[in-house]
Structure formats: structure tokens, C-alpha cells
Amino acid sequence: MSLEPIGIFTLVLGLYCLFAGYHTSIVVFIGLSVFGAAAAILIGSANIQPAHLFLAFLALSVLTYRDKFNIALKALSFPKPGFWLACLLIYGTALGFFAPRLFARMTDIIPLGVSEYPSTGRTVPLGPVSSNFTQAVYVSADLLAYVLILAIGSTMAGFRAITVGVLVFAGANAFFALLDIATYGTGAQDVFLYIRNAQYTFHDDDVVAGVKRIVGSWPEASAFAGISLASVGFTGTLWLCGRDLRWSGALFLVTTLLVIRSTSSAGLLALPLCFVILYITAFFRSGGQSGTRNSSAIVLFTLPLICLVALVIALNDALFRQLYDYFDLLIFSKSTSSSAVERGSWNTYGYQNFLDSYGLGVGLGTSRTSSFLFALLSNVGIPGTIMFSLFAISAFSKRRGTPRTFTSDIRLAARNGCACLMIGAMVAGPTVDLGLVFFILAGLSSAEPDGETLTAPSTRYMTAKVS
């Protein structure tokens, strides 16, 4: 076991936040979630990321309050979302221990972690892998983060602090992406050494068509694009709802451009669907006394603007050819590339694992896929897929508060952020663990702060400060 420099920094920050209070702690915790390629502590082949290490300090600063502890405990009761997430964790962990042993050698897997067989990058017979443990730890952290967000978000001050934390995350994610571009062009990439120290396979120097792929503080371009979709959904919704216009619009625009510039096929495929979600949001958020200018403008001008842009591109043959070649390289011809064929085979083996395990799954963290749906089916089977579905339905479908109020708009932004992130995961998600950011946003979308506004705003273009 080794404590890395960023781990020392996280420990010092955690000790400081114990005295600063949980409102500061939650902002720091969400901000630290941006370090997806960093390891605060290395234990063999396992990586403990800074946010996961800091989660212990956050839990200590929150759960020592009796009322917050009771809220967190209540969040695990039937039939609340936390109950179904806890069921998924228990089922997946138990299955991860028994299934690779009971079904040993009955099927071939693409191992997610280190197995007893030599690592060749190909399939190995089913058996225990190191990621059975690490994925159980990650999903446990997801569950803890979710209930802590609910406990902190039970007050308006805590609810606002979580919102600020998500905006900090979005800003930090964009900052590291821009820094990635700048350091690659100047040969100063050594500045990333301390936040790219996890034992992952990194693709931070990949170039496509002469363009450097953006990875930011993540291991590869698809991971950066996938997590950035959450920022697109969250900040885009805030801007449409007229909330925190100083930052939400700029972060939405910059993050969208960075996803396009990242050259991630998964990001480019998912982004139009995210825009559809935002357009639907604008449609329902416009009109009436509390409608916003931004939503109304998007509803009125988006379709004519798309037609105008399409006409300009069609009339400019050189521009059309440039765009076509770019998208042909990244999307249209992607299915014939070696990486697409390889990732497609992962899903094929994952589905076969699902069938060979009689629909039960081969265990949490056992097999690697290239889609969240196939990850669910292959790892936790039909029971785990139902549990996750019940979590998502109960977390996102329940109507909370009065529409078009500040808290309602923030919850809507969090739901859209989760939806956009999940779209990206369906395209290229390798594991059942959707990451801390997803469950932070899920907790924010489920939070019900005391004293929230119970009536809709009476002024047409009302905005509310997030900080």
C-alpha cells in the first residue's frame, strides 16, 4: 500500500473540512470527483480515488448529527430509492463471491480486473477477479454518497451547497480539459503526473486526424466525454430555467464544445440525445407567468436555426466535405474499426454470460462490457437489473415540490444530468458502477429541503442565486 501525494493533499483537506463543517465538505467532495484518473492510495492493483477517500471525512462530518443520521437511515427504508440501491449492492456483492465459483469455467468472460489466468486482453474462463472486490467498494461508496446527499440536502443551506458543488465539478472538469489541450501543445504534460497516477490503461496521447483527443483528468476520451454529458444536462437545464446565469450558460457552452472536440464517438452519439432532452425541458419550462426567456427563445428559434445551418452546410461543398469526413471517421465508419469490433465483442460475451448464468449474472465486477445495459445483464442479471430500474424509477419519477420553483428547477437539472450521463453509459459504459457523480445528482434530484418554496414564483423571469 502506498499513499500518493494527492492522497496526502486529500487527507489534509479532509481534516480541514472536519472543522469547516459539512457545507464546505460537500462542495469539496463533489469537486474532488473530477479526479477520475487519480489514485490517492494504491493497494496492490486497486486504486482508491481522492473522492472515495474524502467520502470517509464527509460521512464523519454529516452522520455525527443525529437528525442527519436519521435521514440517511430513513433513506434506506422500503420502498425508497436507497432501499433498492442497497438491495443491488447486497445482491451484486454476494453474487460476485459465489457466482464465479459456482459457475466456474461454465462460460468465458472479458475480465474487468485481474484473474487467475495470464492477462492477454482476450477472454478467460469464468472465475474470481480482483474487481469483484473493488466494484463492491465502489457501489458501496455510491450508496453512501447518495444517502449523504439526501441528508445534507434536507436543509436549504445544504441543498444550495450541493448545487454549488456540482457547478464546481463542471467548472473543474472543463478547466482540466482546456489545460490538457494547452499542455499537449506546449509539451508541458508533466503537470498531470500527480492526477494521472492510477493503475489504469491511459490514452492521454492519442491523436485522431491530427487532433489530440481530450481526456482532461480522466483516463481516456470516452470517459471524459461520458462524465461531461452530466455537466451538459445539469448546466444546460439551469440556463434554460434562468438559474445562476453567471455560470450555467458559460459552462454549458464550453462543456458542449469540449465534448465535440474530444473526438469521442460515444460523446458525439450521445450529445444529440442530450439536446433532445434539453429541448423538451425548454418546451415545458417556457410560457406562463414563470416561464423564462431562455426556454422560450430555444423553443422558438432552435428548429429554424437548425434548418439555416443545414442549408449553409449544404450550399458550401468544402465545409460539407470537411464535416462529413470528420463524422465519417468518428461515427459512420466507426463500426468497422478495430476498437469498435473489440468493444462489440465485449457486449457479445457479456450477453452470453447472462445466458450461461441462467439470467442471474456472473457477479458484480466480474465481466467487462461496452454498454451499461449489457454490464447490468452480465454482472447482476435480471434481479440486479430490476433492482436498478426500481431505484431509478423511484428516484426520478416522483414529483417533488412545486414546479418552476428554485428547488424544483435544481432537481430537474439533476435529473437531466443523470439522464444525459446514462445515455453516454448506454453507449460505452463498461461497468455497473455509474460513478459518484451520477449518484450525487440522483441524491440532489431526490432531496427535499425543509422550508422550500411551496408556491410557484409570481414574477415571469424570476431567478435565484445558487450560492
**pLDDT-wise least confident of 46-55, 137-146, 194-203:** 194-203
User: What pLDDT score was predicted for residue 459?
Assistant: 36
Top pLDDT among 459 and 256 is at 256
The string of pLDDT tens digits covering residues 244-260 is 777 899 999 999 999 99
Does residue 320 lie in a domain region? yes
363, 113 Cβ separation under 8 angstroms? no
Domain assignment present for residue 436? The answer is yes
**pLDDT (0 to 100) of residue 453:** 57
360 inside domain: yes
Per-residue confidence band for 458, with pLDDT thresholds at 50, 70 and 90? very low
Q: How far is Cα 259 from Cα 254, in angstroms, rounded to an integer?
A: 9
Identify the weakest region by mean pLDDT among 45-54, 349-358, 386-395.
45-54
| pLDDT attached to residue 335 | 65
322-339 residue pLDDT tens: 888 877 777 777 666 777
Q: How far apart are CA 294 and CA 288, in angstroms?
A: 13
Domain of residue 359: give its range.
66-447
In a domain, 1, yes or no: no
**Is residue 34 domain-resident?**
no
pLDDT interval class at 460 (50, 70, 90): very low
Q: Mean pLDDT across the stretch 103-111?
A: 91
Question: How many independent structural domains does the chain possess?
Answer: 1
pLDDT digits (tens, 9 = 90+) for 387-416: 999 999 999 987 777 788 899 999 999 999
d(C-alpha 360, C-alpha 285), whole Å: 42
pTM confidence score: 0.92
Question: CB neighbours of 9 closer than 8 A, spacing ≥ 6?
Answer: 50
Distance CA 89, CA 79 (A): 15
> Does residue 14 lie within any of the structural domains?
no
Q: Is residue 214 part of a domain?
A: yes
Distances, alpha carbon 192 to alpha carbons 98, 148, 182, 370, in Å:
40, 30, 12, 27
Task: Select, from the ranges 161-170, 192-201, 427-436, the one with the highest average predicted confidence (pLDDT).
Answer: 161-170
pLDDT at 358: 93
